[in-house]
């Protein structure tokens, strides 16, 4: 009796908490609203199944609880019921998987007009690199890292000379333009995570990873690290400023390029040895 | 069709292995310390696992104190917090759950349930325990070395695990952790081979595979999986140890740490992740399958009804076990591996949901038209179904690659895996202890203490982990000792404090449980040989608790499956497996 009642209350409590509690995701600021809708579909399907299972359980506990003289039924198997349940479950699972895979296809297909922006993680700070006028990022690698080349941009790659380097500052992005975020780490794993953008990806030393998105809302969005990277992990912060194109251009004009950072020892853009 | 001969066992072929002689120790040490009796080893395993599990529990309190009331406990620095989560996670998953299900319940129940006198290799079985104990001691030692234990997270991802930015990375912490894991795997392999061979070879006459209780099926399948999965962790540990001590670069690319170029180069951190999760995902089921098996038996016995769809249940266990080897990279959707892997691993992961769901249906359908005795084991089984359904369903979020992207590495993941592989299996362990304690000691556990323990644990654990999903949904990352960020529109501090209070209360209830275990040893009501009136063989032993050799002079002969409850026309509502009794019309073709 009391057990059935408590199970009932547990379902009710969970549903009410879900519906009225103020804790929900932070408003989205990227094109990935599809991810949010897939998540909502999943919430509905799984929520209904959970309520159905627990309520059925509560009913059984109430209806078939031991009473003097009660005897259980004897039914080892029921082919039809088992097949029926298997098919219904498979359909429900497919209904969640199919939209999921379709959205994933979009997620992994970077539009050709996306501009590349590089994020570099190190214990425990973020740096950024934007392609200069040529629209291309120069090659990079940890062996080139030095005091005046903190991101390890290759001095031998002419594409790198006009790259814009942002160390310790915020990343600025123009609104409405797709960006391919190219991710690099110089030491351990990190993960570039801006909750409002919904997307995130690990940064792995030794390789380059990426994801893409389009900012749809101007404002200041906090960057967090989502992959354990040592004691400073929780305090590795920065901001992304999404701006109108004009403001963005003004900001971009004030930034230093790789070549200017190297001025004391001018870069010889020579052929590689 | 009935047996023509007058001996009821005439039609049953002989056992594969005849009754073998057992070692009989003559010294006190041989009997009580270096025992080779599986039942005794089981108790040693369980006692050790529970002891180290208490350490894991205390660590969870400390973590929750920090998360619920940040800034108040000065001694919980970020370093300490990372050491706590790492040791807590590793202790709970490996040294508590794996050890207690396989080393504890496996050792106690397999020989009794299949009608054997002991495990087939008793000496190796004993070694298995002592190596496990050594592994635990090495693990504990890491708390006392300079620099303390490793704080790399239980996933131990390189490069940070062996670098100086992580607690214990350049000290002895990570080395002791890796050595302890290596020892654990060696010890487990000895026990594991034993469980597999015992199930395959030492079953008594008439105990066909398809007559074994689901408990044995669950433990057996989990053991086979562990034997296949642990080697991946083993090599990963050895290689990381080489990277750390000998300067090899299996997992280490060229990198610059805090301005200093290290001499590593050419290795891949992602390979470690593949190895880790090739072990780590099956590990989830290594913990879950024994729980599935045990809970099936608890439900059947206490609802006085055969488990619904037994053969389907066996196949579901086997299929889940097999499929769980091809889903590992769902833990790596945002790891930077090739994004096209996502299609494959999301599909396999959601396929595995189908046999898992069938198991849930069959448990609930077993209760349908049952005669449900709301005993403590039954209550824990019901709580398990609720908790497992909840945790399993949130797995569909995280398995569905694109939905995982915003949620991965947030507290949503922490809530999910605690529900599904933390709380749910632990509820089964409790149910199983209330169920089999009378066989192990001859006494019942105290009911009143048990009721308090049950309600506080079940409702309390739900109150901890259900709201935690929403902390993750807000966007709070896991492995953050405190959270303060501009994306949080509704503060989560109050919710975190609530969760922490619930965690302390649940923890306190476990102390009551331990007290009950000790108190009932003397003061518990005498149980008799078969207090639950159960069919399976372990309840039919001539002595309670069963003595060395289990079965007296003759091994039992098995005539039926383990689920003949409420058979129409039978004089009682159960027929023991070794009861030649009446033939049953509506029998399953086993
Ligand atoms: C009342 C019981 C428990 C409480 C209150 C609790 C609490 C916690 C907390 C607060 C964390 C750290 C979250 C973070 O900051 O990332 C954590 C991590 C973890 N817990 Fe538990 N836990 C409990 C029981 C268990 C059990 C039974 C298991 C067994 C599977 C378990 C396995 C883990 C694992 C694997 C981690 C991840 C560690 C890591 O991130 O490296 N916990 N737990
Ligand atoms: Cu980090
Ligand atoms: Cu997994």
Q: In this predicted model, what pLDDT tens digit does every residue of B145-172 receive, in sequence order? A: 999 999 999 999 999 999 999 999 999 9
Residues of A whose CB is below 8 A from B487: 26, 194-196, 221-222
Cα-flanking dihedrals φ and ψ of residue B93, to 5°?
A: -75, -50
Q: Where is average pLDDT lowest: B9-23, B171-185, B483-497, B501-515?
A: B9-23
Q: In this predicted model, what pLDDT tens digit does every residue of B307-361 receive, in sequence order? A: 998 998 999 999 999 999 999 999 999 998 998 999 999 999 999 999 999 999 9
Per-residue model confidence (pLDDT) at position A77: 80
Percent of chain A with pLDDT over 70: 96
Any ligand 1 atom below 6 A from CB of B503? yes
**What's B136's domain CATH number?**
1.20.210.10
Any ligand 1 atom below 6 A from CB of B418? yes
Burial label, A1 (beta-carbon count in 10 A; 0-12, 13-18, 19+): exposed
In the sheet that A238-243 helps form, which strands lie side by side, from edge to edge? A171-174, A238-243, A219-225, A190-193, A200-203
- Point out the ligand nearest to the CA of residue B410: 1
Per-residue model confidence (pLDDT) at position B451: 97
Q: Do B353 and A198 touch (CB under 8 A)?
A: no
Q: Where is average pLDDT lowest: B258-262, B474-478, B520-524, B525-529?
A: B258-262
Residue A257 pLDDT more than 90?
A: no
Per-residue model confidence (pLDDT) at position B71: 87
Residue B535 pLDDT more than 60?
A: yes
Longest dimension (CA), chain B: 87
pLDDT band at B33 (very low <50, low <70, confident <90, very high): confident
B358 CB neighbour count, 10 Å cutoff: 21
- Point out the ligand nearest to the CA of residue B477: 1
Nearest Cβ partner for B397 among A27, A42, A122: A42
Q: How far is the CA of B81 from the centre of ligand 1 (A)?
A: 12
CA gap B443, B526 in Å, rounded: 5
Pocket-testing residue among B55, B69, B89, B478, ligand 1, by greatest number of atoms within 8 A of Cβ: B89
Q: Do A60 and B368 touch (CB under 8 A)?
A: yes
Residue A95 pLDDT more than 90?
A: no
Q: Which of B85, B159, B312, B336 to mutate to test the interface with A (most CBs of A within 10 A)?
A: B336
Q: Do B367 and A38 touch (CB under 8 A)?
A: no
Question: Which pTM value belongs to this model?
Answer: 0.94
Per-residue model confidence (pLDDT) at position B485: 87
Task: Identify the H or E element spanning B449.
Answer: helix B447-474
3-state DSSP assignment of residue B389: helix
Q: How far is the CA of B527 from the centre of ligand 1 (A)?
A: 36
pLDDT band at B3 (very low <50, low <70, confident <90, very high): very low
- As a whole number, mean pLDDT of residues A11-33 equals 94
Residue A13 pLDDT more than 80?
A: yes
Residues of B whose CB is below 8 A from A226: 408-410, 477
Per-residue model confidence (pLDDT) at position A273: 45
Per-residue model confidence (pLDDT) at position A265: 53
Contacts of residue A146, defined as CB under 8 A and 6 or more positions apart, other chains included, come to none
Does the interface predicted TM-score (ipTM) exceed 0.90? yes
Residues of B whose CB is below 8 A from A66: 371-374
Q: In this predicted model, what pLDDT tens digit does every residue of A113-151 receive, in sequence order? A: 999 999 999 999 999 999 888 888 989 988 889 888 889
- Determine, yes or no, domain membership for B23: no
Q: In this predicted model, what pLDDT tens digit does every residue of B352-394 receive, in sequence order? A: 999 999 999 999 999 999 999 999 999 999 999 999 999 999 9
Q: Two tokens at A259?
A: 């070549």
Which is more confidently placed, B32 or B503? Answer: B503
Residues of A whose CB is below 8 A from B483: 234
Q: How far is the CA of B99 from the centre of ligand 1 (A)?
A: 17
Q: Is B5 left (phi over 0), alpha (psi -120 to 50) or beta?
A: beta
CA gap B50, B92 in Å, rounded: 10
3-state DSSP assignment of residue B252: coil
CA gap A183, B239 in Å, rounded: 27
List beta partners, residue A153.
A140
Percent of chain B with pLDDT over 70: 97
CA gap A211, B408 in Å, rounded: 15
Mean pLDDT of chain A: 90
Q: In this predicted model, what pLDDT tens digit does every residue of B97-111 receive, in sequence order? A: 999 999 999 999 999
Q: How far is the CA of B86 from the centre of ligand 1 (A)?
A: 9
Q: How far is the CA of B498 from the centre of ligand 2 (A)?
A: 27
pLDDT band at B583 (very low <50, low <70, confident <90, very high): low
- As a whole number, mean pLDDT of residues B176-181 equals 97
Q: In this predicted model, what pLDDT tens digit does every residue of B191-241 receive, in sequence order? A: 999 999 999 999 999 999 999 999 999 999 999 999 999 999 999 999 999
Per-residue model confidence (pLDDT) at position A224: 96
Residues A219, A175 contacting (CB under 8 angstroms): no
A6 CB neighbour count, 10 Å cutoff: 17
Q: How far is the CA of B84 from the centre of ligand 1 (A)?
A: 10
CA gap B32, B24 in Å, rounded: 12
Per-residue model confidence (pLDDT) at position A161: 85
CA gap B560, B557 in Å, rounded: 10
Question: Which protein residue has the closest C-alpha to ligand 1 atom 37?
Answer: B89
Per-residue model confidence (pLDDT) at position B588: 53
Q: Do B269 and A226 touch (CB under 8 A)?
A: no
Q: How far is the CA of B466 from the centre of ligand 1 (A)?
A: 14
CA dihedral B117, B119, B121, B123 (to 10 degrees): -90
Q: Which of B402, B457, B472 to mutate to test the interface with A (most CBs of A within 10 A)?
A: B402
B32, B104, B129, B578, B584 from B29: Cα distances, Å: 5, 21, 15, 35, 49
What atom in ligand 1 is closest to the CA of residue B81?
A: 15
Cα-flanking dihedrals φ and ψ of residue B73, to 5°?
A: -100, 95
- For chain A, domains (ranges, CATH) are 2-66+78-108 (no CATH), 115-261 (2.60.40.420)
Q: How many pairs of residues across A and B have Cβ atoms under 8 Å apart? A: 327
- Determine, yes or no, domain membership for B384: yes
Per-residue model confidence (pLDDT) at position B25: 82
Any ligand 1 atom below 6 A from CB of B421? yes
The residue of chain A nearest to residue B340, with distances taken between CA atoms, is A108
Q: In this predicted model, what pLDDT tens digit does every residue of B43-73 receive, in sequence order? A: 999 999 999 999 999 999 999 999 999 989 9
Q: In this predicted model, what pLDDT tens digit does every residue of B257-290 receive, in sequence order? A: 988 899 998 999 999 999 999 999 999 999 999 9
Whether residue A124 has a cis bond before it, omega within 30° of 0: yes
- Determine, yes or no, domain membership for B399: yes
Q: Distance (Å) from the C-alpha of residue A154 to the closest C-alpha of chain B?
A: 15
Q: Do B567 and A74 touch (CB under 8 A)?
A: yes
Number of domains in chain B: 1
Q: In this predicted model, what pLDDT tens digit does every residue of A175-222 receive, in sequence order? A: 999 999 999 999 999 999 999 999 999 999 999 999 999 999 999 999
DSSP B58-102: HHHHHHHHHHHSTTT-TT--HHHHHHHHHHHHHIIIIIIIIIIII
Residue B570 pLDDT more than 90?
A: no
Residues of B whose CB is below 8 A from A56: 364
What atom in ligand 1 is closest to the CA of residue B464?
A: 5
Per-residue model confidence (pLDDT) at position B6: 62
A265, B118, B221, B359 from B106: Cα distances, Å: 70, 12, 11, 21
Residue B404 pLDDT more than 70?
A: yes
- As a whole number, mean pLDDT of residues B533-550 equals 93
- Determine, yes or no, domain membership for B467: yes
Per-residue model confidence (pLDDT) at position B546: 94
Residues of A whose CB is below 8 A from B159: 187-189, 205
Residues B556, B12 contacting (CB under 8 angstroms): no
Any ligand 1 atom below 6 A from CB of B161? no
Residue B189 pLDDT more than 60?
A: yes
- As a whole number, mean pLDDT of residues A33-56 equals 92
Question: Which protein residue has the closest C-alpha to ligand 1 atom 24?
Answer: B422
CA gap B349, B326 in Å, rounded: 8
pLDDT band at A264 (very low <50, low <70, confident <90, very high): low
- Determine, yes or no, domain membership for B88: yes
Per-residue model confidence (pLDDT) at position B4: 47
Mean pLDDT of chain B: 93
pLDDT band at B1 (very low <50, low <70, confident <90, very high): very low
- Determine, yes or no, domain membership for B365: yes
Nearest Cβ partner for B369 among A21, A72, A86: A72
Nearest Cβ partner for A231 among B82, B470, B568: B82
Residues of A whose CB is below 8 A from B587: 76
According to the per-residue pLDDT averaged within each range, which of A23-27, A256-260, B29-33, B457-461 is highest? B457-461
Any ligand 1 atom below 6 A from CB of B422? yes
Beta strands per DSSP E along chain A: 115-122, 125-130, 164-167, 171-174, 179-185, 190-193, 200-203, 209-213, 219-225, 238-243
Range of B47's domain? 35-251+268-540
What atom in ligand 1 is closest to the CA of residue B480?
A: 15
């Amino acid at each position: 009796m009391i057990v059935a009642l408590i199970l009932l209350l547990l379902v009710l409590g969970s549903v009410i908490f879900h519906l009225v509690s103020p804790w929900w995701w932070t408003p989205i600021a990227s094109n990935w609203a599809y991810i949010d809708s897939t998540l909502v579909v999943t919430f509905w399907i799984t929520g209904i199944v959970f309520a159905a299972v627990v309520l059925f359980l509560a009913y059984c506990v109430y209806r078939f609880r031991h009473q003097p003289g009660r005897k259980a039924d004897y039914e080892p198997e029921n082919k039809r019921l088992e097949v029926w349940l298997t098919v219904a479950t498979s359909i429900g699972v497919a209904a969640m998987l199919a939209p999921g895979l379709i959205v994933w296809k979009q997620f992994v297909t970077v539009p050709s007009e996306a501009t590349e922006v590089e994020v570099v993680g190190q214990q425990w700070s973020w740096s950024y690199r934007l392609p200069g006028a040529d629209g291309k990022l120069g090659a990079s690698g940890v062996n080139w890292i030095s005091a005046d080349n903190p991101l390890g941009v290759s001095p031998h790659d002419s594409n790198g000379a006009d790259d814009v380097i942002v160390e310790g500052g915020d990343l600025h992005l123009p609104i409405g333009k797709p960006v391919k975020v190219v991710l690099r780490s110089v030491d351990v794993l990190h993960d570039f995570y801006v909750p409002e953008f919904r997307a995130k990806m690990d940064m792995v030393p030794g390789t380059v990873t990426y994801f893409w998105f389009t900012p749809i809302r101007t404002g200041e969005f906090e960057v967090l690290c989502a992959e354990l990277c040592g004691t400073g992990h929780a305090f590795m912060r920065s901001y992304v400023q999404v701006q109108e194109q004009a403001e963005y251009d003004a900001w971009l004009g004030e930034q230093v390029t790789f070549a200017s950072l190297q001025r004391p020892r001018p870069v010889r853009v020579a052929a590689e040895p | 069709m009935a047996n023509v001969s007058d001996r009821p066992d005439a039609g049953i072929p002989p056992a594969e292995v005849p009754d073998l002689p057992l070692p009989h120790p003559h010294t006190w040490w041989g009997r009580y310390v270096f025992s080779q009796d599986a039942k005794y080893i089981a108790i040693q395993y369980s006692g050790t696992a529970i002891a180290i599990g208490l350490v894991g529990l205390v660590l969870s309190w400390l973590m929750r104190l920090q998360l619920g009331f940040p800034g108040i406990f000065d001694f919980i620095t970020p370093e300490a917090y990372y050491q706590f989560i790492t040791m807590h996670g590793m202790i709970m998953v490996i040294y508590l759950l794996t050890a207690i299900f396989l080393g504890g319940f496996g050792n106690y129940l397999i020989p009794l349930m299949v009608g054997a006198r002991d495990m087939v290799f008793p000496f190796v079985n004993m070694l298995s325990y002592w190596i496990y104990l050594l592994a635990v001691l090495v693990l504990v030692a890491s708390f006392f070395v300079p620099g303390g234990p490793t704080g790399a997270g239980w996933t131990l991802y390189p490069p940070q695990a062996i670098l100086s930015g992580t607690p214990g990375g350049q000290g002895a912490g990570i080395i002791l952790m890796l050595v302890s894991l290596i020892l654990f795997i060696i010890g487990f392999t000895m026990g594991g081979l034993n469980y597999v061979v015992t199930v395959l070879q030492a079953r008594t006459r008439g105990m066909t595979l398809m007559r074994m209780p689901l408990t044995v099926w669950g433990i057996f399948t989990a053991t086979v999986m562990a034997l296949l999965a642990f080697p991946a962790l083993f090599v990963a540990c050895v290689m990381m140890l080489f990277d750390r001590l000998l300067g090899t670069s299996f997992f280490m690319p060229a990198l610059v740490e805090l301005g200093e170029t290290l001499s590593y180069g050419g290795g891949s951190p992602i390979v470690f992740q593949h190895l880790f999760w090739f072990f780590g995902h099956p590990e989830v089921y290594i913990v879950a399958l024994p729980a599935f098996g045990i809970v099936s038996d608890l439900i059947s016995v206490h609802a006085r009804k055969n488990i619904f769809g037994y053969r389907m249940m066996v196949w579901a266990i086997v299929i889940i076990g097999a499929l769980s080897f091809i889903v590992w990279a769902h833990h790596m959707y945002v790891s930077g591996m090739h994004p096209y892997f996502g299609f494959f691993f999301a599909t396999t992961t959601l396929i595995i949901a189908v046999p898992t769901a069938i198991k849930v249906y069959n448990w609930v359908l077993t209760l349908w038209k049952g005669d449900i005795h709301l005993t403590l084991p039954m209550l824990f089984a019901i709580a398990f179904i609720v908790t497992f359904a909840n945790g399993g369903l949130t797995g569909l979020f995280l398995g569905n690659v694109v939905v995982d992207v915003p949620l991965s590495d947030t507290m949503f993941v922490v809530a999910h895996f605690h529900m599904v592989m933390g709380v749910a299996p632990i509820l089964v362990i409790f149910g199983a202890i209330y169920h089999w304690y009378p066989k192990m000691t001859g006494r019942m556990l105290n009911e009143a203490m048990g009721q308090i323990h049950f309600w506080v644990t079940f409702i309390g654990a739900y109150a901890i982990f259900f709201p935690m999903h929403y902390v993750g949904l807000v966007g709070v990352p896991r492995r953050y000792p405190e959270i303060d960020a501009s994306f949080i529109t509704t503060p989560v501090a109050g919710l975190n404090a609530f969760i922490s209070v619930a965690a302390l209360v649940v923890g306190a209830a476990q102390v009551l449980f331990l007290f009950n275990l000790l108190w009932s040893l003397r003061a518990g009501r005498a149980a008799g040989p078969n207090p639950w009136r159960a069919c399976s063989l372990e309840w039919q032993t001539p002595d309670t608790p069963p003595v060395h050799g289990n079965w007296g002079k003759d091994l039992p002969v098995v005539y039926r499956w383990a689920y003949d409850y409420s058979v129409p026309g039978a004089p009682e509502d159960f027929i023991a497996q070794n009861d030649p009794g009446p033939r049953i019309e509506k029998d399953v073709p086993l």
